[in-house]
Chain A
Amino acid sequence: MADWLGEFEQLVLFAVLQQDEPYGVTIRDVIEERTGRRASAGSVYTTLERLEARGLVSSHWGEPTAERGGKRKRFYRVKPAGREALAKSWRAVRAMARGAAPKLGEP
């Protein structure tokens, strides 16, 4: 059975899902772009590490680049369990929003 996800975990998972080759910088860019919310590198990475430890995402190293001071990118991919967990959480939010959303002025 998949775990429940925290709110920030959901944002991070959505961001990873959305991109072809997501890594720290792009994940934070997407979150900021879509939600207007600043996410620090530390919080994003900590979340990703936790998700990885729970088997929801996997990661692999890319090549080092000069721009990154010779450090490698760490790319992430959502694993099937991750998809399942995200879907479950997302369904729960939608179920709870049903009927209440118009009161918030949302469709």
Chain B
Amino acid sequence: MRPPHLARRLLDGCLDADAAEAIGGDLTEEFQRRIARGRSPLWMRVWFWRQTVVAVAWRWRAPAPRSLAGAGRRTMVETLWTEARQTFRAVRRSPGFALGAIVPLALAIGLATSVFAVVHAVLLRPLPIPRPDRLVAVGEQPAGESIGNIGFQTFLDFRDQATSFDGFAAIRGWSPTLTSPATVRLNGMRVTSGYFSMLGIKPALGRDFTVDEDTPETRRVAILSDALWRREFGSDPGVVDRVIKLNEVEYRVVGVLPASFEDVVGTARYSPSEIWSPLGYKAGADSTCRGCRHLRAVASIKPGVTEVAANQELRSLQASYMKQFPADYDAEDVAAVERISSVIARPLARPLYVLFTAVMLVLTIAAANAASLMVARAADQEHERALRAALGASRGQLMRQRGIEALIVAGGAGAVGLGIGLALTSWLVAHAPTTIPRAELVGVNYSVLLFVLAAVVLTAGIMAMLPALSGALRPIGRAGSTPGRATDTRARVRAREGLIVVDVAIALMLAVGAGAMVRSVERLLAVDTGFNPADVYQMGLSGVGPRWNEDEVVRAFQRDLVARVRQLPGVEGAAIAGQIPLGGNYDTRGGYLEERQTDRSEDSVDFQRYSVTPDYLNVMGIPLKRGRGIADADRGNSPLVMVINETAARKFWPDQDPIGRRVVFPAGGGKKKTLTVVGIVGDVRHYQLDEPPDPQMYLPQEQMTDSSMTLVVKSPRFADVLPAIREEVRALGPDVPIFGVAPMASLIADSAATRRFTAALLGVFAVVAVLMTAAGLYGLVAYAVSRRTREFGIRLALGAPKGRIRRLVIARGALLTAAGGALGLLLSMPLTRLLRDQLYETSALDTAAVAVGLLALIATSALAHAVPVARATSVSPTVALRGE
């Protein structure tokens, strides 16, 4: 049993050799004896540490024995203040050291602060509702998948039968058009009554929905968000009981939510809402069936009930419904709960943890470099310290000075870093992909300040401790030893070399990770989306209100609009679709193949449905593979047709010709529609670039009308024709809002946005890490060369070839780089595992990424060596010998 290694190092590092030997020996002896007498080793290790700390503290307090000065008594604060001032002056006297240590450290702290600010807002900050950890999303989905939808009847049964919850609400997305006072499209939700009380929210004006209002006949009431109230109603306190028009239907405003309300449920499940209305479903009515899974559910778990127990209860309830109504449930679906906070954070949690890890690694490099500079500085100041000790400075003073110096440097870096962090944070928020939830909360707050403080203290700790541990602070007994001549102790050199190995390893890790991410984004953006986005633009149109319930109205509008837009000069094509790829819609229809003639759920086939006008496939550049596309002749009174994609053909009719086959879809009220396949087109990526295509179908709008519309226009001069298009829309449908005007290419870019953002930041971190490592390595090599100037001069004078000197300098650095590189490759594996689900068709240890990383490393090393090597080989012997 040996005493703690680190404690012994500390003794050796902080005490002069004699004291370290005598005290270290005494403590070791007692340590052994007491353990031999039966003391527990753990207890004795603690004892050893305590004795070590006390011994070091005693040495700090005591004046050096050869003290000449009988300094008057001063209070601790006075002493510290004086020392701080002295140290500050000392730091100012060596601006090279101060800048070299502060600038990289400040940069690293700034980067870390900004990433932490985002991590804090998105992942750590509790949701602003009374019981954030009890609020869960509930849904039915295959095990392990993200929380899905639920049918109304299942929701009712859960609400009435589950005992683990004290609140249960069903919600659905709702995008009404406010037609009075102004025409704007709003983001909203329909919710069951009791939704707001479950969240613990009371309206600031007016009241909550009542149970009686949650019916099909009485649901024309609305609650507004504070922002909507301010924006559209001029903060009118008399808005309660006022009648407004939504989708051309009259609604009465019953309440306005407090300004502090943040729609976390909307953020988690749809998008943040500004208007709410009761769901108003009646059990047994249309679209309330168990299989009609278009609702989402949220619930709050009772205090004292665990999430697992609540989950379990729902699962067993659902199992019993499955037995009762086997046709309505998919055997794969299980009921599950997930905290709202985790639903919100999930899409970003992994990238953020990756970025945070990366930025902390950068901070580690910066701290290691600063510590390395401190070691070098301590060695350089040996002479000065010996002198001061001789003049009566206590060891404590000398050690404290080092600590204060570390604090000044780290503190300065922290202050500058906070400023950099602030600037970067606002940049991050401004340039982040829009998918960052709660981005408006990213900013400076106490937690962020605390983070900076912690970073400063930790860094200062490392900077102060490392020189002590490497023995660089060992007080020198005698002043007058020749300054600058003392050869470095091996411990000191080894400490700095160790730091460089760590630097190199981290830099390589980051470079490999960033490289893999960049490759991944490249591959993702190179994915064939199945359509040609060149010059194609989309805009959302929404026909709402009673008028638009008539299919013929919608059709006439669509026909006229497409015809008129196509006539506009500069427009090459125009079409309307119910949904478009990557547009964020999830319109899926289930039916069954006619030849199977069955209603069983396992025989059902699901298609993503695109209701399109005839020119759509052309405008989008989706290639026709066989048969024909949607034609003008496909009208309401002609045979029902569908065009399917290749995935559907392969999946549903393997080894057969799908053309002429028929698919049956339920059409409400027990009726059925039978569609005939007339053509096959290429696949498109619908949800995400990295998701393989599902079966898709294209139906003529004339036969399957969809009043939620996206107009797609192909035009090389879109900006010029946009006003004319707006004019045509206004002329044909004055009550039709236009929203979401964007080039199709931007949908593709958005789909890769989070990854691209992660890749870009990782890239920046990697570059910073590599540069810092280069600086650190340069510092080490340059220092070693400056210490050996004399030696090199003599060698050169004695006829040593320059190549030999060059090799002398390079050998050590190259060895360290190689060691760091090997370590970095090893460490890359766990880091890149973190990255794995961010990567797309790229191995975590991507060959190219590793190659680039290694190249960066070699370049770094070469860069760091160039100047010192040149200096070492150009030493003039006379200069070297004149030396001191």
Which residue numbers of A lie inside 8 Å of B, CB to CB? 23-25, 28, 40-43, 45-46, 49-50, 52-53, 64-65, 67-69, 71-74
Give the residue name and chain of the B residue nearest to A45 (CB): B23
Whole-angstrom CA separation of A43 from B51 in the bound complex:
10
B25 at the interface (CB under 8 A from A): yes
Choose among A25, A42, A49, A69 the residue with the greatest number of B CB atoms under 10 Å from its CB. Answer: A42
Tell which of B59-67, B126-134, B405-413, B850-858 binds the partner: B59-67
Give the residue name and chain of the B residue nearest to A76 (CB): B22
How many pairs of A and B residues are in contact by the CB < 8 Å rule? 78
Other CB < 8 Å A-B pairs besides A42-B56, A67-B28, A68-B25, 4 of them?
Answer: A40-B55, A42-B57, A49-B19, A69-B3
Give B57-95 as 1s and 0s: 1 = Cβ < 8 Å from A's Cβ atoms.
Answer: 111001001100000000000000000000000000000
B657 at the interface (CB under 8 A from A): no
Query: Smallest CB–CB gap between B50 and chain A, Å?
Result: 8
Q: Is there an interface contact between B29 and A68, defined as CB atoms closer than 8 Å?
A: yes
Give the residue name and chain of the B residue nearest to A62 (CB): B25
17 cross-chain CB contacts under 8 A: A23-B26, A24-B22, A24-B23, A25-B26, A42-B55, A42-B59, A45-B19, A49-B19, A49-B65, A50-B62, A53-B65, A53-B66, A69-B28, A71-B24, A72-B21, A72-B25, A74-B18
Tell me which residues across on chain A come within 8 A of B58, comparing CB atoms: 40, 42-43, 45-46
Q: Is there an interface contact between A24 and B26, defined as CB atoms closer than 8 Å?
A: yes
Give B280-306 as 1s and 0s: 1 = Cβ < 8 Å from A's Cβ atoms.
Answer: 000000000000000000000000000
Give B236-249 as 1s and 0s: 1 = Cβ < 8 Å from A's Cβ atoms.
Answer: 00000000000000
- Given the known interface contacts A25-B30, A50-B62, A69-B2, the answer about A43 and B54 at a Cβ–Cβ threshold of 8 Å is yes
Q: Is there an interface contact between A74 and B22, defined as CB atoms closer than 8 Å?
A: yes
Tell me which residues across on chain A come within 8 A of B25, comparing CB atoms: 24, 64, 68-69, 71-74
B32 at the interface (CB under 8 A from A): yes
B27 at the interface (CB under 8 A from A): yes
Tell me which residues across on chain A come within 8 A of B66, comparing CB atoms: 53
Give the residue name and chain of the A residue nearest to B57 (CB): A42
Tell me which residues across on chain B come within 8 A of A46, comparing CB atoms: 58-59, 62
Give B1-41 as 1s and 0s: 1 = Cβ < 8 Å from A's Cβ atoms.
Answer: 01100001000000000110111111111101100000000
Query: Smallest CB–CB gap between A23 and chain B, Å?
Result: 7
Query: Smallest CB–CB gap between B33 and chain A, Å?
Result: 8
Tell me which residues across on chain B come within 8 A of A49, comparing CB atoms: 19, 62, 65
Whole-angstrom CA separation of A107 from B66 in the bound complex:
42
Tell me which residues across on chain A come within 8 A of B18, comparing CB atoms: 74
Query: Smallest CB–CB gap between B510 and chain A, Å?
Result: 41
- Given the known interface contacts A49-B65, A50-B62, the answer about A42 and B23 at a Cβ–Cβ threshold of 8 Å is yes
Tell me which residues across on chain B come within 8 A of A53, comparing CB atoms: 65-66
Query: Smallest CB–CB gap between B632 and chain A, Å?
Result: 96
Give the residue name and chain of the A residue nearest to B31 (CB): A69
Give the residue name and chain of the B residue nearest to A49 (CB): B65
Tell me which residues across on chain B come within 8 A of A69, comparing CB atoms: 2-3, 8, 24-25, 28
Give the residue name and chain of the A residue nearest to B27 (CB): A41
Whole-angstrom CA separation of A43 from B53 in the bound complex:
11
Choose among A41, A64, A67 the residue with the greatest number of B CB atoms under 10 Å from its CB. Answer: A41
Query: Smallest CB–CB gap between A27 and chain B, Å?
Result: 9
Tell me which residues across on chain B come within 8 A of A41, comparing CB atoms: 23, 26-27, 51, 54-55
Q: Is there an interface contact between B30 and A71, defined as CB atoms closer than 8 Å?
A: no
Whole-angstrom CA separation of A45 from B58 in the bound complex:
9
Whole-angstrom CA separation of A73 from B27 in the bound complex:
11
